[in-house]
Structure 1
Amino acid sequence: MSQWLTWAKRIQALSQAGLTFTRDQYDRERYEELQEIAKEMFERHSDLSNEAISQLVHVQGYPTPKLDVRGVVFKGDRLLLVKERSDGLWTLPGGFCEVNRSPASNIIKEVEEEASLDVIPLRLLALFDMHEHPHPPLSEHYYKLFIECALIGDGEGAAGMETSDVGFFERDHLPELSLARNTLEQIHMCFDAHWQEDDWTTLFD
């Protein structure tokens, strides 16, 4: 990740926390100035739109990482992937966790919406900090949950509103991946966990 983006995110997080808890008007003005500095850094060193930067910088409440949940669904030794309309690349089905939904109910919803398949969540394979993995630089901080699910039925699935294709792939015949969503190492981890079903220990960081 670009060091500039790392600094900008840290400045933004500190200023957001300060604005959440301060009772002093002078401190509030200082934290607001720090937010503007972070905004300028994002403008100069990222490809985000002005609207996206403004939404990122001017956030209410204490800053915490967002949660992204990914469904790991196998048919035999083939792994389910979906093709994103946004970038034309392939990923595990998933997305942000929604308020008032558990991780399990989130992944059931995401797999149904993106692949038109019904699943039963079985176990948490990994909880990763995106900063610790070779994803492209991102403006926000994310944790990723990888949840293995059992497929209900034997359907091949169908694309949804956010996806243009669906497929089951072998480990040695993977399509081009959307690295902002999952890396090749993470996809290989899914295969390892599937093949080591009785001996797998949940990974983190």
Structure 2
Amino acid sequence: MPGGFADVGLSAAQNIAKELYEEAELKVSVRRLYGVRHKAGTSYSPDVRDFYKVFFLCDRLSGGEARPRLETSEAIFFPKDRLPPR
């Protein structure tokens, strides 16, 4: 959805599956929540905006290689042994 807003009525996991299909043409099954990062615990400069980043582990159901589309600059999968730190 343009603007980065989740669809009303979808869970975070459902929205991730929808966005992966729209932005990388990949159908996935969301396995579980992997991590949550809060802006305050990062190198972002303090201001009035606040956000959390939510990461999910997913299994690919169909689709070829991940590829960027209109709103995506990069689309990649991390091998299990090289997942980003939590």
- TM (norm. structure 2) is 0.71
Separation of aligned partners in 2, 1:104 and 1:147: 7
Separation of aligned partners in 2, 1:157 and 1:137: 34
1:110 aligns with 2:12: no
What is the total number of aligned residue pairs between the two structures? 81
Give me the identity figure in percent: 36
Unaligned runs of 5+ in 2: none
Q: Tell me the C-alpha RMSD between the 2 structures.
A: 2.5
Greater mean deviation of Cα atoms: 98-107 or 136-145: 136-145
Unaligned runs of 5+ in 1: 1-94, 172-186, 191-205
- Give secondary structure in 2 for the equivalent of 1:122: strand
Higher helix share: 1
**Partner of residue 84, structure 2:** 188
The aligned runs of 1:122-133 (5 Å cut-off) are 122-133=31-42
The aligned runs of 1:1-205 (5 Å cut-off) are 95-137=4-46, 139-153=48-62, 155-168=64-77, 171=82, 188-189=84-85
AA aligned to 1:124 is L
Say which one has the larger Rg: 1
- Give secondary structure in 1 for the equivalent of 2:67: coil
Q: Tell whether the 8 Å contact from 1:123 to 1:148 is kept in structure 2 after alignment.
A: yes
With over 3 angstroms needed to count, the CA separation of the structure-2 counterparts of 1:151 and 1:135, relative to structure 1, is farther
Report deviation, 1:106: 0.5
Separation of aligned partners in 2, 1:112 and 1:121: 12
Higher relative contact order (CA 8 A, sep 6+): 2
Q: Tell whether the 8 Å contact from 1:98 to 1:106 is kept in structure 2 after alignment.
A: yes
